[in-house]
Amino acid sequence: MKLGLFSTFMSPIADSEMIRNFAQTIEGMGIESLWMGEHVVLFDQTSNPYPGSRDGKLPVPEGGGMLDTVATFGFLASCTKTLRLGTGITLLPQRNPIYTAKEFTTLDWLSGGRIDFGIGVGWCQEEVEACGYRFEDRGARCDEFIEVIQRLWQDPVASYDGVHIQLKACRMDPKPVQPGGIPLIVGGHSQAGFRRAATYGDGWYGFQLNLTQTEAMQSALTEALKRADRTWSNFELIITPPYNITLDDLKAYEDLGVDRLVLHLGSQKPSRINERLDWVNDLLQAVG
């Protein structure tokens, strides 16, 4: 089982020096991948609660905000050599899919094939609408956007005629450098999310799931894969567990069949990062 880290880099703490030092440190420790979430604008009041916290609020420092994943990954690609970079997740149905395809294939090209493209439909209605789309049809739009992006990455000449997007015959280069293309990792705990992962994905990403929840998601995904005439042989299970886990927990996730465990970094205050990385390093040493 591979070990990664999830970090929501936020200003004002996460400046270029902090991010560079952090990435090079975890790469040197043997961390396999670094994952980032995405929100382009934040709202004081939202129709739906944030699912990743107890109070339904995004934990953002006063006067700060989340850094853009694409720009940050470009920066990280230039100051690391082996660290994989994954989005957990890209809010695909509120993005322009043509620009998104171009951005991520360029990242893959410049990083030497170190990108994992994690996608989901998102939970914040206000953010989707601020980006110019409707919230209610974001699932159907996400499916079409996936298909368009994959055609642009794979086909010498790509075109698409859908309900939500039409694309006349065109070329996009460079193509992704990874054999088989950039891995598509799908998030989402709904039946639609499981279907989307089984239909289009190279894996599924679950956030802050304990062992019982992970096992339940695994069962649901197994059924979705069967319906798509697929197996786990070419499909990854990627999990971010609750913040505090033990070595026994880590081994239990591995025994359950988790391919990547993406540990949450938490606070980005320097002293807290050092404490957290000491703990992560202890886990790395214990699992060899």
CATH number of the domain that residue 188 is part of: 3.20.20.30
Burial group, residue 25, by CB count within 10 angstroms (0-12, 13-18, 19+)? middle
Quote the CA–CA distance of 254 and 1 in Å, as a whole number: 6
- Retrieve residue 15's tokens: 């400046």
From CA 271, how far away is CA 252, in angstroms rounded? 29
Specify the pLDDT at position 218.
98
CA distance 229 to 235: 12
Q: Which two tokens stand for residue 7?
A: 């970090």
DSSP E strands: which ranges in 10-111? Answer: 10-11, 33-36, 65-66, 84-87, 90-91
pTM score, two decimals?
A: 0.95
pLDDT at 54: 72
What is the model's pLDDT at position 49?
83
State residue 78's pLDDT score.
97
Residue 116 CB partners (closer than 8 Å, separation 6+): 33, 35, 84, 85, 86, 87, 182, 183, 185
The pLDDT of residue 63: 75
- Residues 116 and 10: their CA atoms lie apart, in Å, by 21
Domain that holds residue 151: 2-287
Domain total in the chain: 1
Contact 95, 144 (CB under 8 A): no
- pLDDT values of the chain reduced to their tens digit, one per residue, 288 residues: 999 999 989 999 999 999 999 999 999 999 999 999 999 999 988 998 877 677 777 777 777 889 999 999 999 999 999 999 999 999 999 999 999 999 999 999 999 999 999 999 999 999 999 999 999 999 999 999 999 999 999 999 999 999 999 999 999 999 999 998 999 999 999 999 999 999 999 999 999 999 999 999 999 999 999 999 999 999 999 999 999 999 999 999 999 999 999 999 998 888 899 999 999 999 988 876
DSSP-based three-state secondary structure for 269: coil
